A and B are shown apart, each in its own frame.
Chain A
Amino acid sequence: GAVVSQHPSRVICKSGTSVKIECRSLDFQATTMFWYRQFPKQSLMLMATSNEGSKATYEQGVEKDKFLINHASLTLSTLTVTSAHPEDSSFYICSALAGGSAGELFFGEGSRLTVL
């Protein structure tokens, strides 16, 4: 089946630094990708919808200047957590939509960010 890869799978950084997480669709093109945040023992919270070649659409309450999303190609979206703080520590998951707006979603393995 279709594969979505995230990198890095784990990252530890110091407070105040920026961290970039990549999400790649390996065997299909994805005009739309989604970024989620998952807290321990909690659900996935949709952060933003990433559209290739245009600005991301952020969900209410998500700071777009804090969580920069770039979808520069049909196979790559990146999430940059800027000036990270310990409260940004979380599990970030991306998904990519294969086959147009009515297609199937495929999820990456997730990236665990720890901010010291």
Chain B
Amino acid sequence: GDSVTQMEGPVTLSEEAFLTINCTYTATGYPSLFWYVQYPGEGLQLLLKATKADDKGSNKGFEATYRKETTSFHLEKGSVQVSDSAVYFCALSSGQGGKLIFGQGTELSVKP
């Protein structure tokens, strides 16, 4: 079945460092790919998405490119801030009416 694999956390970075969180997927067909963020004490929020190969999703300085050839959707940010500390989830949808399959989440901690 479909699945999503993320790099394990926690990831600890200093402010203004470069961030990469790896995400790879296995799916039949052509899924849509998502990154969600969960700040402490809050629900999940959609950070960005891409619906087809070579699409780049971007939001709040974060970017991820849908790479079909490597089945990847790595999350990047050029300069992280303390406020980016959160848990990040990669997810895919195969179009079954909103049904999402999540990766295990990666906790990011940014130190001043």
CB closest residue in chain A, given B36: A107
- Is B58 interfacial (CB-CB < 8 Å)? no
B45 and A97 contact, CB distance less than 8 A: no
Total A-B pairs, Cβ < 8 A: 50
A42 and B104 contact, CB distance less than 8 A: yes
- Is A43 interfacial (CB-CB < 8 Å)? yes
A97 and B98 contact, CB distance less than 8 A: yes
Tell me whether chain A's interface is mostly helix, strand or loop, or mixed.
Answer: strand
- A-contact 0/1 string along B71-107, CB 8 Å cutoff: 0000000000000000001000000011111111100
Tell me whether chain B's interface is mostly helix, strand or loop, or mixed.
Answer: loop
Chain A contact-residue range equals 20 to 34
State the Cβ distance, A99 to closest chain B Cβ, in Å.
Answer: 10
- 16 CB-based A-B contacts, threshold 8 Å: A6-B43, A32-B98, A34-B99, A43-B102, A43-B103, A44-B44, A44-B89, A44-B102, A95-B44, A103-B98, A105-B98, A105-B100, A108-B43, A109-B42, A109-B43, A110-B43
